[in-house]
Amino acid sequence: MVRKGFGLKTAAIGGLAAMLIAAMPIAHADD
């Protein structure tokens, strides 16, 4: 069983990655 802390960190990193991926098309469209 994975520790809860690890799961929270993974979720946080996943959220940040999703935000970056979502922001990429916006940045390119702005150019």
Return the domain boundaries, the chain. 1-31
Instruction: For 7-30, give one letter per residue: b (16+ CB within 10 A) or e.
Output: eeeeeeeeeeeeeeeeeeeeeeee
CA distance 29 to 16: 20
- Sign of the Cα pseudo-torsion (3, 8, 14, 17, in order): negative
pLDDT of residue 9: 85
Cα–Cα dist 1/29, whole Å:
43
pTM: 0.50
Helices (H), the chain: 4-30
pLDDT tens-digit series, residues 22-31: 887 776 666 5
